[in-house]
Amino acid sequence: MAKIAVLGAGSWGIATSVLLHSNGHQVTLWEFDHHEMSKLKRERENKQKLPGIIIPKETEITDDLDSATGEAEMMALALPSHTVREVGRKLAKLNFADSIIVNLAKGIENDTLCRMSEILREELPSNLSDKIATLSGPSHAEEVAVKIPTTVVVAGFQEEIAKKIQQTFMNHYFRVYTNSDIVGVELGGSLKNVIAIAAGICDGMGLGDNSRGALITRGLAEIIRLGEKLGAKRETFAGLSGLGDLVTTCISKYSRNRFVGEQIARGKTLSQVLKEMTMVAEGVKTTKSAYQLSLRHKVEMPITEQVYKVLFEDKEPKRAIAELMTRDPKSEIWG
Could you tell me the sign of the dihedral formed by the alpha carbons of 77, 81, 83, 86, in that order? positive
Q: Would strands 132-136 and 150-156 be described as parallel, antiparallel, or unpaired?
A: antiparallel
Show Cβ contacts of residue 81 under 8 Å, excluding neighbours closer than 6 positions. 105, 106, 107, 108, 109, 116, 190, 282, 285, 286
Q: What is the DSSP annotation of 92-147?
A: HTS---S-EEEE----B-TTT--BHHHHHHHHS-GGGGGGEEEEESS--HHHHTTT
What is the set of active-site residues?
Answer: 192
Give CA 86 to chain center in angstroms: 17
Contacts from 109-115 at CB under 8 Å and sequence distance 24+? 109/81, 109/82, 109/84, 109/85, 109/289, 110/82, 110/285, 110/288, 110/289, 113/289, 113/292, 113/293, 113/296, 115/183, 115/186, 115/187, 115/190
Look up residue 81 and give its DSSP letter: G
Cα-flanking dihedrals φ and ψ of residue 16, to 5°?
Answer: -65, -40
* Distance, first Cα to last Cα, the chain: 49
